[in-house]
Structure formats: structure tokens, C-alpha cells
Amino acid sequence: MKFANDFLFGAASASYQVEGAWNEDGKGISNWDVFSKIPGKTFEGTNGDVSVDHYHRYKEDVKLMAEIGLESYRFSISWARIIPDGDGEINQKGLDFYNNLIDECLKYGIVPFVTLYHWDIPQVLEECGGWTNKRTVDAFVKYANVCYKAFGDRVKHWITFNETIVFCSLGYLAGAHPPGIKNDLKKYFQATHNVFTAHAKAVVAYKNLRQFGEIGITHVFSPAFSIDNNPDNEFAAYHANQYGIAWYYDPVLKGEYPQYVVKYLNENNLTPEWTQEELNIIKIAADDNDFIGLNYYQPQRVMKNIKFENSKESSRDNSTGAPGNVSFDGVYKTVKMNDKKYTKWGWEIAPDAFLEGLKMFKANYGDIKIYITENGLGDEDVIIQDEVVDVPRIKYIEEHLVAIKKAIAEGINLKGYYAWSSTDLLSWLNGYKKQYGFIYVDHKNNLDRKIKLSGYWYKQIIEERGENL
Ligand code: BG6
């Protein structure tokens, strides 16, 4: 089987992780500009001040992407570059940068797939409560409208938010991302509701402009599986999927929150402050939402948590289903299993669980169009005679593309695959050590670029439309 011609083969990045130029050309300060400079918050104090300097080297990067044959580039816009204080004046130089980037992609026939929010919020808004403050919702809709109007003639694929569960749980429960708050369930659930409202309003605003593109949201996709068929553990997996999947996907795709979680929130005085108008717009937007983006890295293997233990520490690697965590309510824990494979950072490699999860997804959410907006292997790449020989990455991506092929054969409506990532980039908490890219960036040598073995391999896959996978 070949992938259909309208299936997009791409790669992805995010503004803070690649751009650098943190204080140039009128850009405002973002939460990450501040947070990454607090001692002890990131791996060896790394930050995105320069990152891989995509801001200045985007032409070179897009040219390399074209050499790889990428059909699409998913990147995010830095809100603070467009509206430095989040809610006020527009920065023309910020618009210029993205206009140029978009035009550069189109020059090579690369489809720009734009994420409006990949975690870098203007610091001014963060200081006013960030996503817990409803003012941020209105500011986001304003910012989204500015982007639609400036870029919508050429950008026809929009993602409102990247991985709400990650930035809200790390921001308000684990304290590992800005604003660095720990264990505040009230704020966590309020922030998620405000994000869903902002998504809904941004979808409706986009449709009102009649630009005839498509808009959706990207969520992490970490389906939970019980470690065995013990009913207690099976219940634990159900519970995990209610909080990790239904809470995030239901409002966007079904237009309402899962009753299972709402009941818990009501009983525990955690119900977000929501108005009927907000709930209505969430309902309306569900019909207008064109697709869902899934970021799949790993499943969760869960079992009932017998004795309440706290997670080891607050970090990225123990937050999104990676083994060794206890859920916030102490009901279940995620575990490492002897018969599974793991990356150096302890993330399970499980293409079979990907396929299984996609089947569960279809059973629950039907035929909504799906893009895999991230999937990839974080590794320390091997260099032999000046070539980056990232064979484990090739194997990883191949196995996941095979799972996608099987899913398509089973009638799952998959329309694109974006490897994470295009170039090597800054991992939020793991610095530059954890590499993901098709394009190597040499931090010891002027940030020089070089296509890795995986890039050449991906080129061939694209040319053959995956026939020989
Ligand atoms: C995804 C994010 O959750 O995971 C990316 O959308 C991130 O921004 C990626 O880089 C990999 O995470 P990490 O922690 O390995 O860099």
C-alpha cells in the first residue's frame, strides 16, 4: 500500500524551541524567557535565547527541509513576537518574520501548518494569572484573529493549542513548567477550561472569516492500558483515560465535558468557574472543528495504586504517562514493564499500542480527520566520520509509520504525519542533549546544519509514498 497523495509527510517544531532572537525586533518577553532563567529549572540552565537560531537561519532550514522532500512544515508562532504584551499593539516586525517564513515554505511547495500556541505566552499575561485568568481567553482570540488576517491567505491549516494537558499539568500540578505552581487542582482545571473556551472561540472566529482553510487542536495522545486483566487495574486504566483523554478530547470533539470527571469535580469543589455562554460556545465549536492533531510518543501502562506514594520529582519525564508516577488523586500509577522497550529517557517505544490507541480513538470519536502532529525519538545521536548515523530514529519512525499504514487500512481517517522534529532543537527541560531532528545542529561549531541519515531515509519514504515500509 502507498500513502495517498493527499497524505502530508512533514516535520514539526515550536517557536521557543528553535527561534532564538528572544529580544529582537520588538519581540515581547515570554513566560519561558523568564522561567528558563530561574536557577535549577532547566537542564544545565539551558534556555531559548539563541536556541538553534531559526529566526535568522530560517531560509537555510527551509532549504534543507526541501532537500529532504518535506511536504509540510508544522511550526508555531510566538505570541509575544506578534503582540509583545499579549493584548496591545501589534509588532509589524513579528508579522514580517512569519510572512517571510511562510513565503519561504511556499517557494518550495512546503505546506505551512501553523500552531498558534506552543506554550510561550507573553509574560505580561502570565503575570496576570495566565490561563487561569479569563482575560487571557479574549487576548488569545484577538491574537488568533491577527494571525488569520495576516497569514490566512497562505496558511490553510491552523492548530490552536499544543498539548493542553502538558502545559497545564506541568504548570499547575508538577510545577515543572511556568508558572511553576505545584498541586493546585483548582487552577489546573480552571486553566484547562479556559483553554477549551479559547480554542472554541478561536475556531468560531476563524470560520466567521470564511478563509476556507481548516482548524483544529493538538493533544498529547497517551492512551492508558491496564498491565493485566485484573479488574482493579482495568478500572485504573479506565479512570486514567477519563482524566487524560476524555477531559481533553470530549469538549473539543463532542462539545461537552465527560460526566465521570465533572461528577468528581462537583463533589470535590473543583468545578471550574464556567458560564453557560462558555459551555454553549464549546458545544457550537465542536461542529466546526475540522481535525484533531495527535502527538503520540508513548502509552501509559497503569495499575491500581495500592498505597499512596508521591511521584519521585516534578519533571517532564514523569508527567505524561512515563513510568513511575502516581495520578494526582492517588487512584492509579504508571509502571515500567519488563517486556517493554524504553528510550534512554524512559519513554516506552510502542508502535503496537499506537495502533491499539487509534482503534480506541475511532471507537470513541468516529471519523474525525486526524493528523499525527508529533512523533519521534529523543536520543543522543551517534556521529561516525562526520555523518549523523541515527539508525534508532529511522527504526522508530518506520515502526510508527507502519502502524499508521495499518490504521489507515482499518479505516482510520489519518491524513498526515509530522515527525518531531525538523531540526534538532531545545528540549524544554532536557536541553540540547536530547535530539529529535532530521537535521543535525552542531552546537560546538557555529550551529552548522547537516542532514542526518534519517533525513535521507525519510526523503526516500516520501518519494515512494511509503510503499516499501
Ligand atoms: C511534546 C512537545 O510534548 O514533546 C514538544 O509538544 C516536545 O514541544 C516534545 O519537545 C518532546 O519532549 P521532550 O521533553 O523530550 O523535549
68-115 confidence digits (pLDDT tens): 999 999 999 999 999 999 999 999 999 999 999 999 999 999 999 999
CA–CA distance, 206 with 212 (Å, rounded to integer):
9
Q: What pLDDT, on the 0 to 100 scale, is given for residue 325? A: 86
The stretches in the chain having pLDDT less than 50 are 311-318
Share above pLDDT 70 across residues of the chain, in percent, rounded to a whole number: 97
* Cβ partners under 8 Å of residue 96, min gap 6: none
CA angle 114, 120, 124 (to 5 degrees): 130
Nearest-CA residue for atom 16 of ligand 1: 427
Q: Which of 177, 379, 420, 435 to mutate to test the pocket of ligand 1 (most atoms within 8 A of CB)?
A: 420
Give the closest residue to 6 by CA, choosing from 176, 217, 154, 156. 156
Whether 118 is in a domain gets the answer: yes
Nearest-CA residue for atom 13 of ligand 1: 427
- 163 annotated active-site: no
Q: What pLDDT, on the 0 to 100 scale, is given for residue 306? A: 80
Whether 432 is in a domain gets the answer: yes
Whether 18 is in a domain gets the answer: yes
388-423 confidence digits (pLDDT tens): 999 999 999 999 999 999 999 999 999 999 999 999
Whether 45 is in a domain gets the answer: yes
Beta strands in 297-406 (DSSP E): 300-304, 325-326, 332-334, 341-342, 348-349, 369-374, 383-384, 387-388
Is the distance from CB of 388 to CB of 453 less than 8 angstroms? yes
Would you tell me how many other CB atoms lie within 10 Å of the CB of residue 23?
A: 11
* Residue 216, beta-bridge partner list: 159, 291
Whether 110 is in a domain gets the answer: yes
Whether 3 is in a domain gets the answer: no
Q: Which domain covers residue 455, as residue numbers?
A: 8-463
Q: Which of 349, 374, 396 to mutate to test the pocket of ligand 1 (most atoms within 8 A of CB)?
A: 374
CA–CA distance, 324 with 312 (Å, rounded to integer):
8
Q: What pLDDT, on the 0 to 100 scale, is given for residue 261? A: 98
pTM of the entire predicted model: 0.97
Q: What pLDDT, on the 0 to 100 scale, is given for residue 323? A: 81
In the structure, which protein residues have their CB atom closer than 6 angstroms to any atom of ligand 1?
Answer: 14, 17, 162-163, 166, 220, 295, 316, 374, 378, 420, 427-430, 434
Q: What pLDDT, on the 0 to 100 scale, is given for residue 318? A: 47
Q: What pLDDT, on the 0 to 100 scale, is given for residue 309? A: 53
Q: What pLDDT, on the 0 to 100 scale, is given for residue 316? A: 44
CA–CA distance, 120 with 31 (Å, rounded to integer):
6
CA–CA distance, 239 with 233 (Å, rounded to integer):
10
DSSP 386-413: TEE--HHHHHHHHHHHHHHHHHHHTT--
Q: Integer distance in angstroms from the first to the last C-alpha of the chain? A: 9
- CATH code (residue 343): 3.20.20.80
Nearest-CA residue for atom 7 of ligand 1: 427
- Calculate how far, in angstroms, residue 14's C-alpha sits from the geometric centre of ligand 1: 9
* Cβ partners under 8 Å of residue 442, min gap 6: 448, 449, 450
**Number of domains present in the structure of the chain:** 1
Distances (CA, A) of 365 to 245, 249, 286: 11, 9, 12
Q: What pLDDT, on the 0 to 100 scale, is given for residue 314? A: 43
Give the closest residue to 148 by CA, choosing from 98, 86, 110. 98
Sign of the torsion formed by the C-alpha atoms of 430, 298, 15 and 112: positive
210-242 confidence digits (pLDDT tens): 999 999 999 999 999 999 999 999 999 999 999
Grid cell digits, residue 29: 518577553
For residue 429, give the amino acid letter.
L
Q: What pLDDT, on the 0 to 100 scale, is given for residue 321? A: 62
- Calculate how far, in angstroms, residue 295's C-alpha sits from the geometric centre of ligand 1: 9
Of the listed 374, 380, 399, 410, which one is catalytic? 374
Whether 2 is in a domain gets the answer: no
DSSP summary character for residue 4: P
Buried b (16+ CB within 10 A) or exposed e, 448-469: ebbbbbbbebbbebbeeebeeb
Q: What pLDDT, on the 0 to 100 scale, is given for residue 322? A: 72
DSSP summary character for residue 183: S
Whether 328 is in a domain gets the answer: yes
